[in-house]
A and B are shown apart, each in its own frame.
Chain A
Amino acid sequence: MNGVGEFFSWSRFVDDIPRLLPYLPVTLGIVAYAIILGVFLGMVIALLRIHGQWFFQPFLRLYISFMRGTPMLVQILIVFYGLPIVLQALGIEANRWDKIVFVYIAFALNEGAFLSEIFRSSILSVPTGQMEAALSVGLTRWQAYRRIVLPQAIRIALPSFGTDFIALFHGTSLAFLIGVVDIMGRAKTLGASTKHALEAYLFIALLFIVASALLRLLFHFLDRKLSYT
């Protein structure tokens, strides 16, 4: 029953697993870079949106609107083709950079925009009395932000952050379309060499489904665990 012409075979499915898993860290790397850079960028943008001078605002709004209003795939492509040109104008040669660097940057820029909106609304939803009370016991504005307002804002942001995180994780599956060899890219090359891609894609599907469900549970658990009400 295991002929080459067969549509789906369990033995191929099992064979594919050890060929795919070594590439999982590449996928997770994209998530890690995007989240670390995105949280930093998002926090800076959120604070600028709340406290920054007025002339920043239209630019930030335009940036956020673009990142939210255009497809992730198109953004990856624009960064991949556009960033080397921008960098060249600044005298930096980026044409030979590893493709994955552009993916890191594209996802970080996208995450920065999405997270800034999440952070902004959660910072604004912390009652002003919390800041006032912190100032009244003698904290500086920065101390009050760091110790009182931000921890509460992060707590409020957690559910949205979880949804965003899962979307980011799903989004990484697009990186192979510009030729990055992550787990999806590996599945594609396996498909090309064996003429059977279905098993590899099904394994990846399973991986994403299980990981998404676990992440949802994790954020749900964190949400209850970190509750102080």
Chain B
Amino acid sequence: MIEIKDVQKSFNGQSVLKKVSLQVEDGDVVAVLGPSGSGKTTFLRCINFLEHADAGELSIGPKTVDLNRASKREILAVRRKTAFVFQNYNLFNNKTVLENIMEGLVTARKVPVKAAREKAEESLVWVGLKEKRDAYPAQLSGGQQQRVGIARAVVLEPEVILFDEPTSAMDPELVGETLEVIRKVAHRGITMIIVTHEMSFAREIANKVVFMDGGVVVEEGTPEEIFGHPKEERTKKFLSRFINAESMYYI
């Protein structure tokens, strides 16, 4: 189980996260929704120490660390139990697709190169990019880059994968293939926290939905509860805007 408690963060005196907490059971797929500026990306980044939180606690399994006062070693330990999928992919530009996937295994987890290569190749087949193994990131489309990014995360077999708006930087026609891969990750039973704007996708794959606004969790529940019967006014307003916009695509 992963438990995040009372995360606080402010930038230049501007409070972005005001005591945000979240509980995630093993195998959960948690979708975090909310308007831009609601703090959802910052929240995700705090979990992986990409942002230094002002206060808060994080427990992965039996271990608890202070998000503000964690030692270097504790930070590294957390990072080695988690993986992150970035909005703008952030594949290592100087490494091939295969090397990108192997990097964490070989350098961070000390997996022997041969075994790491086998695992990496397996994961590439799995995301459908076997033929791109020796390409450099700049030679791939956005969708392909993100699939490599997902393989890079999955291959580490982390306790949780954090997805930060994984499809929002790509061309609309590439979103489908990427969501398909994320769906496969979910079906593998890997614990995931996804910050996303893809409402129908969130509704479909998540078993828990969190709606954030103004740096707080406004409402959380099952997809049925949030999308079907939202209780809070702010949630209703946000969803109605989005669902209208989304349905417009299908007209």
A residues in contact (CB < 8 Å) with B: 127, 129-130, 132-140, 143, 147-148, 151-152, 155, 228-229
Contact = CB atoms under 8 A, between A and B. Distances in A.
A79 B138 CA distance: 47
A43 to B, nearest CB: 17
Interface string B30-53: 000000000000000000111000
Given A132-B86, A136-B83, A138-B79, A152 B94 contact: yes
B86 A139 contact: no
Interface in B44-83: 48-50, 76, 79-80, 82-83
B92 interface: yes
Contacts of A136: 48, 50, 79, 82-84, 86
B88 interface: yes
Please provide the 8 A-B residue pairs with the shortest distance between their CB atoms, ordered closest to farther: A137-B104, A138-B108, A136-B84, A133-B90, A129-B90, A229-B138, A138-B80, A228-B136
B83 A137 contact: yes
Interface residues of B, number: 29
Interface of B: 48-50, 76, 79-80, 82-84, 86, 88, 90-95, 103-104, 107-109, 136-139, 152-153, 156
Nearest to A146: B107
Contacts, number: 71
A152 B94 CA distance: 6
Nearest to B102: A137
A127 to B, nearest CB: 8
A129 B89 CA distance: 9
A92 to B, nearest CB: 40
Q: SS class of chain A's interface: helix, strand, loop or mixed?
A: helix
A139 B90 contact: no
Nearest to B50: A132
Given A133-B86, A228-B136, A139 B107 contact: yes
Contact of B107 (A127, A147, A152, A229): A147
Nearest to B93: A152
A143 B106 CA distance: 11
A133 B76 CA distance: 13
Given A228-B93, A229-B138, A135 B79 contact: yes
Among B80, B104, B136, B137, max chain A CB count under 10 A is at B104
Given A139-B103, A228-B136, A229-B138, A132 B93 contact: no
6 contacts: A132-B50, A136-B82, A137-B104, A139-B104, A148-B92, A229-B93
Nearest to B45: A132
Interface centre among A130, A136, A138 (most CB of B within 10 A): A136
A134 B50 contact: no
A173 B82 CA distance: 56
B109 A228 contact: no
A229 B138 CA distance: 5
Nearest to A147: B107
Nearest to A141: B72
A133 B94 contact: no
Contacts of B156: 137-138
B109 A138 contact: yes
Contacts of B76: 138, 140
A155 B49 CA distance: 28
Contacts of A229: 93, 136, 138-139
Contacts of B107: 139, 143, 147
Nearest to A151: B94
Nearest to B156: A137
B108 A228 contact: no
Given A129-B88, A135-B50, A137-B153, 16 more contacts: A132-B50, A133-B86, A133-B90, A133-B91, A133-B92, A134-B103, A136-B83, A137-B156, A138-B80, A139-B107, A139-B108, A140-B108, A228-B136, A228-B137, A228-B138, A229-B138
